Structure 1
Amino acid sequence: MSNSGYSATSVGLTLYKEVKRQVLEALAAKEWEPGDVIPPEKQLCIRFGVSVGTLRKAIDELVAENILIRHQGRGTFVALHNRGSHLYRFFNVVRHDSKKFYPTLALKLFEKKKADKTCSEKLGIERNSVIFRFTNLRSLDEKPVLVDRISLPESLFAGLTEAQVRDRPSTLYNLYQSEYGLNIIRIEERVRASLADAELSKLLDVDVGAPLLQIHRVAFSYNDQPVEYRVSYVNTENYEYVPSAP
Structure 2
Amino acid sequence: MALNLLLPVLACLQIFPWPETIAEKPPPTSLSLDPPCAKYLVGEQLMLSCIDPKFGEVTGYRFYNRRNMEVSTYDPDPHGGAKHVFLSLHMDDAGPYTCKYWTAMRGQEILSVESEAVSVSVLEPPSQPALSMDPPSGVIKEGLPLLITCSAPRHTGEWRFRFYKNGVELVPENTRTPLNTMDPGISSVNVSVLSIPRARPDSTGEFTCRYEEKVCQRWTLSPRSQAVNVTVVADNAFLIRFLVVGVSFFFINSLILLISHCCL
TM exceeds 0.5? no
Relative to total residues, which structure has the larger helix share, 1 or 2? Answer: 1
Between structures 1 and 2, the one with greater strand share: 2
Structure 2 length-normalised TM: 0.22
Q: Which has the larger radius of gyration?
A: 2
TM-score normalised over the length of structure 1: 0.23
